Amino acid sequence: MNAGSRIPWVGGSWYLFGANYPWLNYGNDFGSNAFGTYGVSNSTTNATIDADFAAMAAEGIHTVRWFVFTDGRAGITFGSDFVFPDLDAAVALAKKHNLYLDLVLLDFGWMFNATSSGGVQLGGHAGVINTAAGQQALINNVFVPVFKRYANTPQIISWEVMNEPEWAITEDGSVNGAISQPSSLVNFQNFTKSVANAVHANSASYVTVGEASLKWAAQWVGLGLDFYQIHFYDWMQPFAISNLYGPTYASLGLDLPVVVGEYPAANSSTATYQQYLDTWFNNGYAGAWSWSYKAVDSNAAPNTSTTQTWAAAHASSINISSSAPRPSP
């Protein structure tokens, strides 16, 4: 993909306007464990997500960022039989409501020191990322079967290697305190390349990484990603190296489009939701996903009326067509 302000998909080039879902139940939307079996294929869960997706579609949202395996608490070691039914159900709901998904494979909590809750291990998987054998086992035995199953699924625009891996990389200097075995930068870059290669070999979907801050953008160049995805929060605004809200896309000098993967949906000291919507679009970015539709933290949820009005005014740029021809793998 070339540098630019739009993402090619299903016969057009689009501004990826959307929101982070990002989960109904963190770590349990896909798969099962000792906490229970209540992923997307569960009838009660499905009805809730169906209603949420219907509301998103009514507001004009077309792209949804959704976490899959998170910290490894479900879907890989436990309850693998439920992963495909849950992903099948997620894709079906997305298709029903003309939504397109960025599916986040791992969260940086995957790298946390292992803890236990109710008989379920949370985190404790740093060794998988920090060894070549672990990386290949994860990619070959878990990721590749998933990529192959959904190889020609228009609803999955992209697979995301990890959400904010910088908090688990030694050289980035901001390792989360719950991580005693962080990855080296070169190790995680190699993992990213391997996942990107696996996506491209087995799927027509794109691949990206959820970058925690603009200041780390350069370390993801040349790894086989299809677009960059950079996050922005108020704490970054005073620092030029992190302030994505100020510069235009063109001024970044990057070789691929940039989607703003997270930014405050509300309660921001930097800008209003309306100002964010206009700025990301007018400054040449390729999309923006507010955090978060489910109001999972103090950033709250995006205003429904503002979302609907803005989407209607930009319909020709954001209304991804589900009837256009599929790109080839």
Q: Are 291 and 262 within 8 A, CB to CB?
A: yes
With 70 as the cut, is the pLDDT of residue 75 above it? no
What is the model's pLDDT at position 133? 95
The average pLDDT across 225-240 equals: 97
Listed residue (32, 62, 21) closest to 163, CA to CA: 21
What is the model's pLDDT at position 323? 52
What is the model's pLDDT at position 78? 35
Q: What is the mean pLDDT of the chain?
A: 94
With 80 as the cut, is the pLDDT of residue 80 above it? no
Please give the angle made by the CA atoms of 297, 302 and 308, to the nearest 5 degrees: 165
pLDDT tens digit sequence for 281-324: 999 999 999 999 999 999 999 999 999 999 999 999 999 985 54
Which of the four pLDDT bands, split at 50, 70 and 90, describes residue 84? very high
What is the model's pLDDT at position 329? 39
Global pTM reads 0.95
Q: Are 265 and 298 within 8 A, CB to CB?
A: no
The average pLDDT across 112-131 equals: 95
What is the model's pLDDT at position 324? 46
Burial class (CB in 10 A: 0-12, 13-18, 19+), 282: exposed
Q: For the packed helices 43-59 and 304-313, what is the interaxial angle rounded to 10 degrees?
A: 60
The average pLDDT across 179-197 equals: 98
Which of the four pLDDT bands, split at 50, 70 and 90, describes residue 3? confident
> What class, spelled out in words, does domain 7-318 have in CATH?
alpha beta
What is the model's pLDDT at position 1? 83
**DSSP 8-state code for residue 171:** G
What is the model's pLDDT at position 48? 98
The average pLDDT across 30-58 equals: 95
Q: Are 152 and 96 within 8 A, CB to CB?
A: no
With 80 as the cut, is the pLDDT of residue 143 above it? yes
What is the model's pLDDT at position 314? 97
With 50 as the cut, is the pLDDT of residue 36 above it? yes
